[in-house]
Structure 1
Amino acid sequence: MSSRHPTPVLALVQAPVRAVTYTRWLHLTLGGLAAMVVMMVFPGTEEGPSWQWLEALAVPVGLAAAFGLGVPVLRQAEGIQARLMLVPGQREPLGPDASETGIAVAPSASWSDRWRTALWLALRVALGTPMTVASVWLLIPAWYLAFSLGGWYVLLTPLPPLLLLSVVVGAGTLMASLARRLLAPSAAERLAALEERTDRLLEHNRLARELHDSIGHALTAAVVQAGAARAAGSAEFTERALTAIEHTGRRALEDLERVLRLLREGGGARGDVEPPKLEDAARLLESARAAGAEVDAEVGGGLDSVPAVVSREGYRILQEALTNVLRHAGPVPVAVAVAVDGRDLRLTVRNPLPGAYVPADRGSGLRGVSERAALLGGSASAGPEGDSWCLDVHLPLDGYGRS
């Protein structure tokens, strides 16, 4: 037996201590109270045959349906009420995503949404009015049995409240079911929500990759610099190494703070710390030099005109390449070339082969470089060329807004 969908008997037993019973009761009576106010104004509620009450009820029902058709934002208001009062146990952001509650919170975007909203409002009024009347008239017999008749009739006092409780539970369950059908997200809203979740997932993966590259580079550079300082046995060299470690660590902390700010819900200003670009490549080269590597860099002009997304990914690729050199080959001579070649950005990193190199199909660093290049429509190749290890990356410049 599922606790989320209890049997009718168990639901009735649990109803008095469940908050949802009273929020659904309130939701129903609100619709009924609004209808009764309208009925008192027009056409009036004088005593007469029961069919006249049905005629009077047609007025607020018709008005509710008309408002549902003509006011798109009512769908959003009704969705918020339904989520908070009909399914209050399911906490979900009040956005278009309705994966848990099945109830959308967005204005009507099509005539299909408007017609469903109109039907929902009509049913809410039509069911809420008798619920409001029952809430009053089923409690009067309980008072009469307890205080007017007395005697053994007091034993019958719980029956009217129990009957009312049964009506509330049944009507509330029905309204929650109707809400999931009539206020459900449309196909377009479901597609938009799916695309939004996909974008968020891709963004989180990109940020995780950036954090891996930044922290990995900082730790690798720090380890290599510390080892070189100990081997050198020079106070001056040690001072330079410690300064380089401090600067590298500060930059890694800036990247960590930026990524955490972007991941934090409702975070502060997103642009306080801008992600690095290829124009900032000098600090990567200086970091590698401080670690003992002899870096021969040829950085061409025109990098300021490279699209922002390509420039950012190019920086990360260069960072990963230098990190791999320091990690697998140590402080060796490194040749770096970054240039705009026609409609492509070309980035090449070459270093002498260590005793044992890492093949191109192994290691998360090279896979990350290939993934970054592929996402931008480019290519990356890495492997031995003679007595050197070479990483060659091509990134297209077309199809992006200029930075």
Structure 2
Amino acid sequence: MSFSLSTVFRPLTRAVTYTRWLHQLIASVAGTLAGFVHGGTFRSTGMEVWLWIAVLPVPVLLAAALIPAVRRVEGLQAQLLLTPGPQGPEERAGTGISTSPSLSWRDRGRTAGWLLLRLAVGVPVSALTVQLPVLSFAFLQAAAGHRTHFRGLPAIDAPHGWYALLVPLPLVVLLAVAVWAGSLMAAAAGRLLGPSAAERLAVLEARTDRILEHNRLAQELHDSIGHALTVTVLQAGAARAAGSPEFTDRALAAVEETGRQALTDLERALRLLREDVPHPAARPVLADAERLLESARAAGSTVRAELSGPLAALPGPVSREGYRMVQEALTNVLRHAGPVPVSVRIAADADALELEVRNPMPASPAPAAVGRGLRGLRERAVLLGGKAVAGPDEDGEWRVHARLPLARLR
């Protein structure tokens, strides 16, 4: 095993050594305050004072551990002093130290154990921090030929020059104890102030929710941008083939409107991903379905629409996801079959919302039902407790049908 002086002295060059040392010294503050309240504490001699400092605050600390906010304060202090460095959300989570209030009696018990451990380690370290430098000074005085007798330390009645060899020894012991105690408290903080099972579950659920939200945003961007690009390509091709200034103007107006809506959706998704706005722009709902129909008509399709029921009163999740499902179905029509006649039915009643989009089958083979768009359409339906199917029907048309239950969402 290799050994070098740099290994020994490296802790002395690290800031964390001294912040942990400070953390241990702070632990004796409660005992010192209790000593002032308890008359006669500091009239004791030697180590009796430190014993009083270690014992007097125990009832107060046990009572403080019952307060939920104490665990949060101790966690913040431990993160700041025991694991110093960047303190962003990810770095704080990586320390393994929780900053949440106590949520259960188990949390309060662990907090009490932590406070008692801080006291049991901090008071001896504080005592050594005071006494050992004094002992080094006593050795220095003895080496200079002076008799010494400091409070709490044995007297040196026979001074001699060889005491100079002992001068650094107390300081070396103090530094070694401070480093060891700091490492001990950092390890104990992870166990006694670490996240409880409920907190770990909450963190996992929050992470899962973020992943699901990002996946949902990715699906929305796929639907919105894909629809806009499909309409734009079809409009550009039709305008070039028509050779009519009037038709070109209409096509450009449709491209402008579709592109503007896609940019709005893109900006809303990016703002959500950046998490810099508390109230992002509203997502489109089925009450805005006419916009999708006009977009398909502008792309050259003949759209026959049947909208019935209280669409404006639909629950938010169903209405928003229903809009995206109709958008995806129309996009697939334009992408794979071109500007063909389309039949759209959106019907809502007290029990369910039904969506149906039909179009003639293209001359080329029908798109595979495993594409990302259709897969996303089915996933949206399943998440809402419904079902979606897509494929040829008995009349030779391509049919997309979805049914989303409403009763459990009202």
User: TM-score, normalization: structure 1?
Assistant: 0.89
- State the partner residue of 1:256: 266
- State the partner residue of 1:34: 30
Deviation at 1:56, TM superposition (A): 4.5
**Cα–Cα, structure 1 residues 56 and 345, in superposed 2: closer, same or farther, change >3 Å?**
closer
- State the partner residue of 2:217: 207
- State the partner residue of 2:302: 294
1:366-385 mapped onto 2 (5 Å cutoff): 366-385=374-393
Is the Cα–Cα contact under 8 Å of residues 90 and 101 in structure 1 kept in the other structure?
A: no
Alpha-carbon distance in 2 for matches of 1:198, 1:357: 39
Q: Are 2:214 and 1:217 aligned? A: no
**Cα–Cα, structure 1 residues 349 and 322, in superposed 2: closer, same or farther, change >3 Å?**
same
Alpha-carbon distance in 1 for matches of 2:191, 2:86: 17
Alpha-carbon distance in 2 for matches of 1:140, 1:247: 82
* Aligned counterpart in structure 2 of residue 100 of structure 1, from 94, 105, 117: 94
Q: Which amino acid aligns with 2:133?
A: L
Deviation at 1:246, TM superposition (A): 1.1
Q: Secondary structure at the match of 1:20?
A: helix
Alpha-carbon distance in 2 for matches of 1:383, 1:254: 32
Percent identical among aligned pairs is: 54
**Cα–Cα, structure 1 residues 254 and 166, in superposed 2: closer, same or farther, change >3 Å?**
same
Deviation at 1:391, TM superposition (A): 0.8
Is the Cα–Cα contact under 8 Å of residues 262 and 270 in structure 1 kept in the other structure?
A: no
Deviation at 1:328, TM superposition (A): 0.8
- State the partner residue of 2:237: 227
Deviation at 1:164, TM superposition (A): 2.1
Q: Are 2:45 and 1:48 aligned? A: yes
Deviation at 1:183, TM superposition (A): 1.2
Alpha-carbon distance in 2 for matches of 1:133, 1:376: 64
Alpha-carbon distance in 2 for matches of 1:313, 1:388: 24
- State the partner residue of 1:270: 279
- State the partner residue of 1:110: 104
Q: Are 2:60 and 1:66 aligned? A: no
Q: Secondary structure at the match of 1:139?
A: helix
* Aligned counterpart in structure 2 of residue 316 of structure 1, from 324, 329, 347: 324
Alpha-carbon distance in 2 for matches of 1:340, 1:395: 9
User: Which ranges in structure 1 are unaligned for 5 or more consecutive residues?
Assistant: 2-6
- State the partner residue of 1:132: 126
Q: Secondary structure at the match of 1:337?
A: strand
Is the Cα–Cα contact under 8 Å of residues 45 and 56 in structure 1 kept in the other structure?
A: no
**Cα–Cα, structure 1 residues 10 and 309, in superposed 2: closer, same or farther, change >3 Å?**
farther
Alpha-carbon distance in 2 for matches of 1:8, 1:103: 33
Alpha-carbon distance in 1 for matches of 2:128, 2:4: 20
Is the Cα–Cα contact under 8 Å of residues 293 and 303 in structure 2 kept in the other structure?
A: yes
Is the Cα–Cα contact under 8 Å of residues 350 and 390 in structure 1 kept in the other structure?
A: yes
Is the Cα–Cα contact under 8 Å of residues 45 and 53 in structure 1 kept in the other structure?
A: no
Deviation at 1:35, TM superposition (A): 2.0
Deviation at 1:98, TM superposition (A): 7.6
Alpha-carbon distance in 1 for matches of 2:363, 2:299: 20
**Cα–Cα, structure 1 residues 155 and 379, in superposed 2: closer, same or farther, change >3 Å?**
same
Deviation at 1:313, TM superposition (A): 0.5
* Aligned counterpart in structure 2 of residue 243 of structure 1, from 243, 249, 253: 253
Is the Cα–Cα contact under 8 Å of residues 24 and 86 in structure 1 kept in the other structure?
A: yes
Alpha-carbon distance in 2 for matches of 1:56, 1:35: 4
Q: Secondary structure at the match of 2:407?
A: coil
1:79-133 CA-to-partner distances (Å, cap 9, x unmatched) read 1111121122474529xx9852222111112222112111211221221122122
Alpha-carbon distance in 1 for matches of 2:47, 2:307: 89
Deviation at 1:348, TM superposition (A): 0.8
Deviation at 1:195, TM superposition (A): 1.8
Q: Secondary structure at the match of 2:109?
A: helix
Deviation at 1:188, TM superposition (A): 1.9
Q: Are 2:389 and 1:393 aligned? A: no
Deviation at 1:368, TM superposition (A): 0.6
Q: Secondary structure at the match of 2:300?
A: coil
1:284-332 CA-to-partner distances (Å, cap 9, x unmatched) read 1111111111111111131112211111010000000111111111111
Deviation at 1:394, TM superposition (A): 0.9
User: TM-score, normalization: structure 2?
Assistant: 0.87
1:247-266 CA-to-partner distances (Å, cap 9, x unmatched) read 1111111111111222223x
What is the aligned residue count? 391
Is the Cα–Cα contact under 8 Å of residues 92 and 100 in structure 1 kept in the other structure?
A: no
